[in-house]
Copies of this chain bind each other. A is one copy, B any other.
Amino acid sequence: MAFSVLLGKEFETDQAHEGFIEVAESSPFGIDLGITYPATDVDTVMEAAIAAKGTWGKVSVDDRAEVCLEILDRLAANNFEMAHTVMHTTGQSFLMAFQAGGPHALDRALEAVAYAFTEQNRLPDPLMWEKPQGSRDPLVIEKRWIIRPRGVAVLIGVSTFPTWNGYPGIFASLAAGNPVIVKPHPGTILPLALFVRLARGVLTEHGLDANIVQLLVDTPGAPVAKDLVMRPEVGIVDYTGGSAFGSWLEENVTHAEVYTEKAGVNSVILDSADDLGPVFRNLSVSMTMYSGQMCTTPQNLFIPESGITVGGVNVPYDEVAEGFARAVGGLLGDDARAGAILGAIKGTDTLDRIAQATTLGNVLLESREVPSADFPDATIRTPAIIDVDASSDAFGSEMFGPVIFVVRTESTEDSIALARTAAQMSGAITWLAYTTDDDVQEAVIEAAVDAGVSVAFNLIGGLYVNQSAAYSDFHVTGGNAAGNASLTDPAFVARRFVTIGVRIEP
């Protein structure tokens, strides 16, 4: 298969480089990747990007969009190879890796191209401008407008969803005429390397400078991202990843447009329901899928200490909490099914967090190692579910990975307030609330709007809160610490180019 022939080889992208470097890329499923990548440096890629900017910036908006679509088409034909590379670098199950790494990532990319195309076409066509001057002849002047790309764009990749999170910035920048330097996460390189190679091929076929898209790979011991983004030629930085580096970018890269998606604390507010069974079925999937390594995974489940109303009857707190833990335990009791839902754990620090979490409250469900028949060396864990009091400071910040807090609150009002505070302090991307009470629903919406968090209600079927859809959502609001921009909306693309007016007296 296409993926396996890449293993243990030098990955050639046909860009200027001196040999190949060994990297810290590893597979959560425990297979040996052993791929080396072109060894290059910031100076080399920056010089090539600046040279490429001159020509790419002058290609018409239409032609740039067409080249972007051709790259997407070629990527679509490559979805199975990409799915395996995403699976084996991120730890996603094959199904999720296929969906999120392939078609859904392409949806996002297409959305970014469409927005960038639309924004650039909002300019008026050349025209003769007339200003009446009373009894005198009008002032008449020819006006036209030229779009110039912002500068060199940098994409700093994430370890968990390299293509889904990476494509929007890459394609928005490309469609607006900016050359892109792709700097993957040092632990998840292959998916974006594959994209770069494919994109360069399409560019070359179109007679364009392949250096419009370049790869710059680094290692944890010799990171290059800071040096790269601080170059004055950089006009755009797109980033998905941890909050520390995201905030560093926002605070230090003031010479460029910076778009970040960072961490957040997502919450579930449990108030009332018609039936708890479907609620638990939905939650037990959404809170455990890919072992909580999605930016949209709920971490906290807020339940009032007085219990909740189910079908008009009060169900006490402990019964709800234990029922939830039992549902999760049941779902993940079968090793094969657990493996398909959980995927594998990407980072070793995530394992440390599971151990740490169990010291923070009353353990409702222990994390367990799940053996895999297909991948004996895979790192697979069920989540730990910890029961904590509202006064605990355990749940206010992100515990990335398979850690779930069930939080005993004073009331639903208190649940909402706690979710809001967590979002305002640590950021949040999604809330999910269960309620049969319209007033509660309104109160949750009001708090969500205030906290800048997208919110879903009463999901009990096959749609999970973690899943967001291109074209009709605005993933990340940009309105709290979880990120400063949305993927994808007009604001995400409008500043990736500038407009120069030309006036000519006829």
Contact = CB atoms under 8 A, between A and B. Distances in A.
A477 B498 contact: yes
12 contacts: A131-B469, A141-B456, A148-B450, A250-B254, A452-B498, A453-B500, A454-B501, A457-B504, A459-B503, A477-B499, A477-B500, A479-B498
Given A122-B490, A146-B445, A449-B146, A473 B501 contact: yes
Interface string A361-392: 00000000000000000000000000000000
A277 to B, nearest CB: 15
The list of the 7 closest CB pairs from A to B, nearest first, reads: A479-B498, A491-B494, A456-B503, A454-B501, A477-B498, A474-B499, A457-B504
A505 B458 contact: yes
A502 B459 CA distance: 12
A460 interface: yes
A495 interface: yes
Contact of A505 (B143, B453, B459, B473): B459
A454 B500 contact: yes
Interface residues of A, number: 56
A260 B143 CA distance: 25
A455 to B, nearest CB: 6
Contact of A139 (B145, B448, B461): B461
Nearest to A258: B254
Copies of this protein in the complex: 2
Interface string A484-501: 001001110011001111
A129 interface: yes
A148 B479 CA distance: 8
Interface of A: 119, 122, 124, 127, 129, 131, 133, 136, 139, 141, 143, 145-146, 148, 150, 250-251, 254, 441, 445, 448-450, 452-463, 469, 472-474, 477-479, 486, 489-491, 494-495, 498-505
Nearest to A457: B504
Contacts of A450: 148
Given A449-B148, A505-B457, A479 B500 contact: yes
Contacts of A143: 472-473
Contacts of A127: 472
A141 B465 CA distance: 11
B448 A500 contact: yes
A296 B440 CA distance: 55
A274 B491 CA distance: 46
Given A251-B254, A254-B251, A500 B150 contact: no
A503 B282 CA distance: 15
A479 B500 CA distance: 9
Contact of A463 (B449, B457, B478, B505): B505
B479 A490 contact: no
Contact of A454 (B129, B454, B458, B502): B502
Contacts of A461: 139, 505
Contacts of A472: 124, 127, 129, 143
